[in-house]
Amino acid sequence: MQRFANPARFMRLSAALLPWCAVAAATLIAIGLYGALFIAPPDYQQGEAVKIMYVHVPSAWLASLVYAVMAVASAVALIWRHPLAHIAAESAAPVGAGFTFVCLVSGSLWGEPMWGTWWVWDARLTSVLVLFFLYLGFIALANAFDDRTRGSRAAAILAVVGVVNLPIIKFSVDWWNTLHQKASVFRMGGPTIAVSMLWPLLVMAAGFLFLFAVLLMLRMRTALLRAKLRALRFGT
């Protein structure tokens, strides 16, 4: 791990990887979208609106995955004082918040025709909303200090605290939901999903994963270059 602490090596490695990842993301998302929009059948109940799923579900997966990546990077940064890990965590946060936001908006757009409402206080929706606020808190804390290293340390501690709390919040929200609404109005289809609908979904998810990798590397490179520029300009 310490081998990758060298920013120069990271810059070389990411420069080599970046085009490949970008191509992979673009191809996978193109194939996935084609499969989703033209090959996958419309749902017998939901009609064409089911195709929102191909954006909604992958972004929901990414929303939690990015938080995990951010928390692991933060833990690495705190334990080994790994300089790149701080940058990785801070670069991942806005991307994760973006995926969470896409997940919330696409879910809302999907909910309107299906359940007849933009928002339901369902356990899942509520946990994702809380996750969004955890992301916002992380970003706000990282940028709240004049001294940048202080901000990234504080934010790293917050990310680790958040990861301990997330399961508790998730559990309590589930509990709260079953308490307040006895009848669950909606259920997502069921666990079984047709292969013709599954493969575009998985391809889209893979595409989103590569998209995250691309965005993360781009943001990390920008952060490193900006730090270098600041050092050149102000000599700090």
- The site for another protein (CB under 8 A) is made up of 78, 130, 133-134, 136-137, 140-141, 144-146, 150-151, 153-154, 157-158, 160-162, 164-165, 168-169, 171-173, 175-176, 179
Which of 168/183 has CB closer to another protein? 168
Which of 14/74 has CB closer to another protein? 74
Cα 171 to Cα 91: distance, rounded to the nearest angstrom: 28
Minimum distance from CB of 26 to another protein (Å)?
Answer: 35
Minimum distance from CB of 30 to another protein (Å)?
Answer: 37
Kindly state the tokens that stand for 178.
């079953």
Minimum distance from CB of 198 to another protein (Å)?
Answer: 33
Q: What are phi and psi of 194, to 5 degrees?
A: -65, 145
Nearest to 66 by CA among 43, 93, 48, 90: 93
Which of 114/154 has CB closer to another protein? 154
Which of 24/154 has CB closer to another protein? 154
Minimum distance from CB of 16 to another protein (Å)?
Answer: 35
Distances (CA, A) of 21 to 14, 29, 36, 105, 111: 10, 12, 22, 26, 33
* Cβ–Cβ < 8 Å for 157, 78: yes
Cα 115 to Cα 103: distance, rounded to the nearest angstrom: 17
